[in-house]
Amino acid sequence: MSRKLEKGFIQLYTGNGKGKTTAAIGQAVRAAGYGLKTYIVQFMKEYPYNELNSLKNLSDWITIEQVCKDDFVFRKEKPPQEEIDKADNALIKAKDKMCSGSYDIIILDEVFVSIYFGLLKTDTILEFINGKPENAELILTGRYAPQEIIDQADLVTEMKEIKHYYTKGVLARRGIES
Amino acid sequence: MSRKLEKGFIQLYTGNGKGKTTAAIGQAVRAAGYGLKTYIVQFMKEYPYNELNSLKNLSDWITIEQVCKDDFVFRKEKPPQEEIDKADNALIKAKDKMCSGSYDIIILDEVFVSIYFGLLKTDTILEFINGKPENAELILTGRYAPQEIIDQADLVTEMKEIKHYYTKGVLARRGIES
């Protein structure tokens, strides 16, 4: 059964701890169970994030698009113009999904990291927020959320790392971290 | 395709912010996409959490059980013995799933709230942790994590509420908060 939100808010998950992307994914899964449709854009997360495989089973409710590589970060370079254009186009597409009413929840995953590394501009996201229809929920995730965007959000959670096994030398594990 | 974890850790999500349960659910969904099986016990969360509906689509990978009501809290009473027994039995069952190797990840959702309200004992959970096989991942969530359990965890994230729309008088919304 398909339903609609009465009123949508802006949720923001930031901080250096684990759980930002998984919280957003879990939120989409919960919403799907109620009959709400979610459109997810994952920035800088091409392959091999395994949520992609699972969400195929919920494709009536959840659409997920991955956009932009993150290899320029590892090369310690500015993002190539081609990637900046891709990020902007992904936002235009997401805005269309949000405004057309075909989706109830829009998730921009790792949007703040994308701003931090120069793929997107804070102003572009503020404009995106500004265009949010009353009954759409917007979820933004990533480290380094700019204060101007925090100011616009209704719900802000900081995932704060208290203890992490990375400090014990454990590497990211497939199926867990990606 | 079914896979196994090489080494499992203890993840803990606590704090007063939103995203603890959804992070655990999202983790299970991601893990399923990689071929890992998850067994979830949700304490004090009977109906109408909508993740239940969605996870049916991933039932080859994710099993979810809900146990114990939370109405005694609202009545400001101690938990009835019947509910304490249910909680203990749910743990015994979860331990069996964890130790048999039929599941790679065990999630005890809202386990800390259950300790806080007297449904479970800290010692019982420490014992549970102690019985974790090397290759099982254990994820514990809920406000009020006791320090003794934090000490045993490998990864601890505090979901810290920075801003919440509850303070604006917004009530919990179906499909979003439940």
Measured in angstroms, the CA of A93 and the nearest CA of chain B are apart by: 24
Give the residue from chain B lying closest to A25, CA to CA.
Answer: B26
* Pairwise CB contact (< 8 Å): A51 & B170: no
All domains of chain B, ordered by start, with CATH? Answer: 10-168 (3.40.50.300)
Q: Does the pLDDT of residue A47 top 80, yes or no?
A: no
Residue with tokens 């992490």: A164
The pLDDT tens digits for B24-66 are 999 999 999 999 999 999 999 876 788 989 999 999 999 999 9
Does the pTM surpass 0.90? The reply is: yes
The pLDDT tens digits for A18-33 are 999 999 999 999 999 9
Give the residue from chain A lying closest to B139, CA to CA.
Answer: A176
At a CB cut-off of 8 Å and minimum separation 6, what does A10 contact?
A: A129, A132, A137, A138, A139, A140, A152, A153, A154, A155
Give the residue from chain B lying closest to A156, CA to CA.
Answer: B163
Tell me the C-alpha distance between A152 and A169, whole Å: 38
Given this model, what pLDDT does residue A55 score? 94
Parts of chain B with a pLDDT under 50: none
> Which residue, among A155, A156, A170, would best test binding to B if mutated, counting the most B CBs under 10 Å from its CB?
A155
* Pairwise CB contact (< 8 Å): B176 & A33: no
Closest Cβ–Cβ partner in A6, A54, A57 for B30: A54
Given this model, what pLDDT does residue B38 score? 98
Measured in angstroms, the CA of B81 and the nearest CA of chain A are apart by: 31
Backbone angles phi, psi at A151, to 5 degrees: -60, -30
